[in-house]
A and B are shown apart, each in its own frame.
Chain A
């Protein structure tokens, strides 16, 4: 796990997404190639946006109930939460620039 992102679990999930800061949750797994491509961009954005946006990484293998609760059916899936509420869902890998454009309205 990177330095800037937070590791989420089924147990800590509700508390994490309830944060005052907007929270992007990355649903991933070890066996998912496209998920690995997101590691770098997410880590960088978490660093760049420190204090504005929290990035949580949730391993779906270890935390199946959260993934199921949010109807995740493909990974990587990234969901942006604000005050515990789902605001935006991104399915599939994308570049850092594309990700930044998607989160822009949440971090101004």
Chain B
């Protein structure tokens, strides 16, 4: 028999949808994915999630949400969805060879770190190249490293990395950061941080381990090598919508488009919430809010179609 609601993804949006759907007796099934808990699993202290005056560790917050979803009966499958078919109801969702059918689907697959796509980057991932400062910063004690990016996350991660590294160079392709003033100033003023403006990266160098970056000054065209042992990326995120691209309407950046003030997608009965929809706010609490909306939208939609 088909499920009433199947939730894809297990960040704040998916888990909040699960909590609400489970409490509404919709007996949700969640395909949580390999990146269980989403991006918050890669963070340290979360200081702006309401209700935790002293802050809470990202992984701890996500464990709590997961337990809360399970407490009300959410069933969880720990794999990635590999294929979907939304052309007729019940909708079909595959995890490898296993097929799940459901009357409604909530998509909350979030977004993942963006990579530059330059030579050496993927080959040296885990050998000095990283998109997770909080995971890997530890291994660069007293070493010189570089980070690319210009937003708040890049500033935050650069400052975090100074706890370990002897020197952190921020590489940015323009001559000013798009980060908030306070964060940018905090990074620029930091004694261990140096900024290379107007700089792009052409290649990550190293045979077995990162030894440096081939960089280019975009104003002068000068090329040089920056010797570093670690290279961190903080250049934003791309929505995880690849498996939905032939099934749902996406915007030009790949985000799922939803109706104004609702979580409805271009397919009736399929809803979306969190960073997979939202390229603007991208906060744990806004994602959770949208997950709640999605569950309520699912409930109303099921009520309407059943009668």
A residues adjacent to B (C-beta < 8 A): 29, 31-37, 40, 60-61, 67, 71-75, 77, 91-97
Contact = CB atoms under 8 A, between A and B. Distances in A.
B205 to A, nearest CB: 15
A95 B126 contact: no
Interface string B131-143: 0101110111000
Chain B's interface size range is 20 to 34
Interface of B: 34-37, 40-44, 57-59, 62, 78-80, 96, 125-128, 130, 132, 134-136, 138-140, 209, 230
A74 B34 contact: no
A37 B41 CA distance: 10
B138 A29 contact: yes
B36 A37 contact: yes
Contacts of B126: 73-74, 77, 91-92
A36 B41 contact: yes
A67 B128 CA distance: 14
19 contacts: A29-B138, A31-B44, A32-B135, A33-B43, A33-B62, A37-B37, A37-B41, A73-B127, A73-B136, A73-B139, A73-B140, A74-B126, A74-B135, A74-B139, A75-B136, A92-B125, A95-B34, A95-B80, A96-B78
A60 B59 contact: no
B42 A34 contact: yes
B41 to A, nearest CB: 3
A72 B80 CA distance: 27
Nearest to A98: B34
Nearest to B127: A73
B138 A60 contact: yes
Given A33-B43, A91-B127, A92-B126, 8 more contacts: A31-B59, A33-B58, A36-B41, A73-B136, A74-B130, A74-B139, A75-B135, A93-B35
A100 to B, nearest CB: 13
Centre residue among A31, A35, A91 by max chain B CB count within 10 A: A31
A91 B139 CA distance: 14
Most buried by B among A31, A35, A73: A73
